[in-house]
Structure 1
Amino acid sequence: MNTEDLLNQIAFIKEIDKVKYIQRKTKLFNSDRNENDAEHSWHLALMAIVLAEHSNEPIDVLKVVKMVLIHDIVEIDAGDIFLYDVQINHDNTEQERLAANRIFGLLPKKQADEMIAIWEEFETGETNEAKFAKSMDRLEPLLQNTSNNGGTWKEFGVPYKKVYEKKSVIKEGSATLWNYAEGLINESVEKGILKKE
Structure 2
Amino acid sequence: MTPFDILLQQIAFIHEIDKLKYITRKTRLFNSDRHENDAEHSWHLAMMALVLAEHANEPVDVLKVVKMLLLHDLVEIDAGDTFLFDTVLNHANTEAERKAALRIFGLLPQKQADEFLQLWEEFEAGETAEAKFARTMDRLEPLLQNVSNQGGTWREYNVSYERVMQKTEGMQNGSRTLYDFAVALMDSSVEKGILKKAETDI
Q: Same fold (TM over 0.5)?
A: yes
Give the corresponding residue for 2:36.
Answer: 35
1:76 alignment counterpart = 77
1:105-160 residue CA offsets vs partner (Å, 9 max, x unmatched): 00000000000000000000000000000000000010000000000000000011
Determine helix, strand or coil for the equivalent of 1:26: strand
Secondary structure of 2:196's counterpart equals coil
Provide the C-alpha distance between the structure 1 equivalents of 2:34 and 2:115, rounded to a whole number of angstroms.
34
Where do 1:40-79 residues align within 5 Å?
A: 40-79=41-80
- 3-state SS, counterpart of residue 167 of structure 2: helix
CA distance in structure 1 between the partners assigned to 2:172 and 2:137 by the alignment: 11
Deviations 1:24-60 (A, max 9, x none): 0000000000000000000000000000000001100
Q: Which amino acid aligns with 1:30?
A: N
Name the CA distance, whole Å, in 2 between partners of 1:196 and 1:175.
Answer: 23
Instruction: Specify the alignment match of 1:6 in structure 2.
Output: 7
Cα offset, 1:87, TM superposition = 1.0
For the residue of structure 2 that corresponds to 1:57, the secondary structure is coil
Q: How does 1:1-197 map to 2 (within 5 A)?
A: 2-197=3-198
Q: Distance in 1 between matches of 2:146 and 2:48?
A: 17
* 1:58-87 superposed Cα distances (whole Å, 9 cap, x missing partner): 100000000000100000000000010011
How far apart are the structure 2 equivalents of 1:79 and 1:165? 23
How many pairs are equivalent?
A: 197
What is the rounded CA distance, in whole Å, between the counterparts of 2:151 and 2:82 in structure 1?
Answer: 19
Query: 3-state SS of the aligned residue for 1:3?
Result: helix
In structure 2, runs of 5+ residues without a counterpart are none
Tell me, in whole angstroms, the C-alpha distance in 2 between the residues paired with 1:170 and 1:36.
Answer: 23
Q: TM-score, normalised by structure 2?
A: 0.96
Q: Distance in 1 between matches of 2:170 and 2:34?
A: 26
Report the CA distance between 1:170 and its aligned residue. Answer: 1.1
**Shift in Å, 1:93:** 0.2
CA RMSD of aligned residues (A): 0.6
Structure 1 CA distance, aligned partners of 2:4 and 2:109? Answer: 11
- Amino acid of the structure 1 residue aligned with 2:60: I
**Does the residue aligned with 2:120 lie in a helix, a strand or coil?**
helix
Scaled by the length of structure 1, what TM-score is found? 0.99
